[in-house]
Amino acid sequence: MPVILVTDVLVWLLAAAATGYAFYCRRHPHLAVPWARVFRSTAAMASVVVLGVYVALGLLDSLHFRPELEKKDGEQKAYSSEVLSVLDLALSHLRGRSEKTYSAPLATRSFAKEQIELPDGRQLRDFPRLRFGGAHLQDEGEWAGDVAKRMLTGIAVAAALLFLIFLVMKIIRKRRPEIPWSAAYAAIAVLALLAGPAAALSSGYHVLGTDKVGQDIFYLALKSVRTSLVIGTLTTLVLLPVGIALGIAAGYFKGWIDDVIQYLYTTLNSIPGVLLIAAAVLMMQVYIDLHPEMFQTAVQRADLRLLFLCIILGLTSWTGLARLLRGEALKLSQLEYIQAAHAFGVRDTRILARHILPNVSHIVIIAMVMDFSGLVLAEAVLSYVGVGVDPSTNSFGTMINAARMEMAREPVVWWALATAFTFMFALVLAANLFADAVRDGFDPRVRM
């Protein structure tokens, strides 16, 4: 039975809107030209590949359903209370295999000593074998050989795939020679050579170890991607209409409207953001807890909290964009083509829509991609503080939060934190590089 989460709908709408925008851009040279400039940058092409992989993961993870339970005779169809996504299906071998507690990457034994009862009845205090990690090995001495074999298989498959892609690239390159395909190819190669062995190893081991309750870290990291993307994109969706409307209204109408809007964002800016968000999220949490009947599953409940977090973040972070747009609209409203429009008696709404908005769109696009990485990081910080997403939602923030105590352990449990760090770093770096390229492409002042 499909489960439609609110954020799923919004994510897919956003994807549809992005596709629509791409087609719109193709037909409007003033948009197509700067985008073409963006894709001529090597950094942008490489980061687009990385971002593409993240987005694909996020979209797959945004198709939810409840699996059908096995029918007993005569009973009605019943569905599990657990909500899964398409990504979960693909990663089912990772999801189901929980250990008891921590284990290091690729380990065959647990990280903590336990009392083990030997077959002859004696008790022994030792590191127990893992239930799944390396369970197929009869003798742990084969470990090195098995890992090497799996890695090589993974690399071989990746190389074969890369060769195919190389052939396809050759054809595309002829059609659009101006785009740096080699940069994209290099990024694909790096990703494939990482993903191939990881996939091959993950069937027998916990590639990146397990966390406190024995969940596979690799799986958690992949599941966290969606949360980051949702926060990064849906928040801008909330932020944009508010920021754009108030920003250009303040700059265009001036006078008391400008005063009111300026007061609003100055006040909002002076309240510590975390405090405001914490208060709002906690109030929301109380509401959710008092109305359990509204939610069929725990995932839906967590999802509402995620959506609400996006809205709160959006409502507190539009000020930067509004300030930028106010300045630009102030400048534009003095320009002569706006005055010419006044001389034609064109209505204010039409001037805003036809003259101001298209001419600030480059700022909006730049602000959007720039904000994305900031929001991803903000989510991590908020979840770490405990006012972010629901604890049951996978996110980089909750991963870091869970792992932080173990940094003080000896020997240190580093893999959970390192994984969250690496995945988030790759996402934010790619987003920032892409944002830079977008700014270079769109900002008329940067243009040579």
Residues forming the site for another protein (CB under 8 A): 29-30, 335-337, 339-347, 350, 354-355, 358-359, 448
CB of 253 to another protein, least distance (A): 14
CB of 435 to another protein, least distance (A): 22
CB of 270 to another protein, least distance (A): 18
CB of 351 to another protein, least distance (A): 10
H or E element that contains 85: strand 84-85
Any idea what the Cα angle at residue 399 is, between residues 419 and 228, rounded to 5°? Answer: 85
CB of 365 to another protein, least distance (A): 14
- β-sheet bridge partners, residue 123: 117
Here the tokens at position 125 are: 């205090």
Closest CA to 195 of 423, 367, 418: 423
Here the tokens at position 316 are: 């507190």
Q: What is the dihedral of CA 242, 248, 251, 254, to 10 degrees?
A: -80
258 or 303: CB nearest another protein: 258
The alpha carbon of 305 is separated from its chain's Cα centroid by a whole number of angstroms, namely 16
341 or 430: CB nearest another protein: 341
φ and ψ of 366, to 5 deg: -60, -45
Here the tokens at position 31 are: 């948009």
Cα separation, 361 vs 43, whole angstroms: 23
CB of 176 to another protein, least distance (A): 18
271 or 353: CB nearest another protein: 353
211 or 328: CB nearest another protein: 328
Strand order in the sheet with 2-3: 2-3, 64-65, 84-85
75 or 336: CB nearest another protein: 336
164 or 343: CB nearest another protein: 343
CB of 370 to another protein, least distance (A): 22
> DSSP per residue over 16-66, as a string?
HHHHHHHHHHHH-HHHHHHHHHHHTSHHHHHHHHHHHHHHHHHHHTT-EE-
H or E element that contains 281: helix 273-290
Q: Of how many residues is the chain composed?
A: 448
Beta strand 114-117 with 84-85 is unpaired
Q: How far is CA 159 from CA 189, 196, 197, 233, 447, in A?
A: 8, 9, 11, 34, 39
CB of 172 to another protein, least distance (A): 24
150 or 355: CB nearest another protein: 355
CB of 275 to another protein, least distance (A): 28
171 or 343: CB nearest another protein: 343
